């Protein structure tokens, strides 16, 4: 018990906040900072993966894959609220992994709101194939969005969060949240129209 009480009287510095570790990693590219940052939230990431993948080993693998993804993603995109962004990224990663297993009636379609995916009629085979292609294209379009737009679109449309809830979760200002959603939806439309025309 002695070491525990000794710690109470030490002058050890408190650990740096997430934002500082993120800044250090973006500035230096050193994995030490990212490793410490990810370690803080690795249990949350694992539990999110387990919730969707329903398999412990797959969830562990997905957690490691997400860490590898962060090494490049965080150097490209500005992130204001790391924990919220990481949660949304982990969830989307799992949905992407489930897509091949679920087919045209998969998880992503079930969670997609009418504003993004509208099709409530029974599908014939050719229509189902078209719907599958559209959903895949939508997934690709979402991945092309800037981080801020992707996060707000994902929270607003896929998780059905209100503007106020998104402000709380992300730390973005209300007017920025509305702007990210509006611009994100416009960019999705442009991407979808452009790539549909080339198919």
- Encode pLDDT of 73-100 as tens digits: 888 877 888 888 888 888 888 888 877 6
What gap in Å lies between CA 172 and CA 165, rounded to an integer? 11
Tokens 């730390």 locate to 171
Residue of 77, 63, 67, 58 lying closest to 37 (CA atoms): 67
Considering the domain delimited by 16-197, tell me its CATH architecture: Orthogonal Bundle (1.10)
User: With a threshold of 0.95, does the pTM exceed it?
Assistant: no
First to last CA, the chain: 68
pLDDT value of position 177: 92
pLDDT value of position 173: 92
Band of pLDDT at residue 174, cut at 50, 70 and 90: very high
The string of DSSP codes covering 39-68 is HHHHHHHHHHHHHHH--HHHHHHHHHHHHH
Residue of 78, 76, 90 lying closest to 38 (CA atoms): 90
């Amino acid at each position: 018990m002695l070491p525990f009480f000794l710690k109470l009287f030490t002058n050890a510095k408190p650990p740096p906040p997430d934002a500082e570790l993120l800044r250090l990693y973006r500035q230096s590219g050193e994995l030490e900072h990212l490793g410490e940052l990810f370690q803080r939230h690795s249990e949350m990431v694992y539990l999110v993966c387990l919730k969707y993948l329903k398999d412990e080993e797959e969830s562990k693998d997905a957690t490691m894959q997400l860490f590898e993804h962060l090494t490049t993603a965080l150097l490209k995109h500005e992130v204001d609220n790391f924990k919220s962004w990481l949660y949304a990224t982990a969830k989307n990663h799992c949905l992407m992994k489930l897509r091949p297993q679920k087919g045209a009636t998969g998880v992503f379609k079930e969670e997609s709101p009418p504003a993004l995916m509208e099709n409530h009629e029974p599908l014939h085979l050719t229509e189902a194939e078209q719907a599958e292609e559209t959903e895949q294209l939508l997934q690709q379009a979402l991945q092309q969005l800037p981080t801020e737009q992707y996060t707000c679109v994902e929270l607003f449309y896929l998780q059905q969060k209100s503007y106020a809830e998104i402000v709380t979760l992300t730390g973005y200002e209300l007017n920025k949240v509305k702007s990210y959603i509006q611009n994100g939806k416009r960019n999705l439309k442009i991407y979808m129209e452009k790539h549909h025309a080339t198919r």
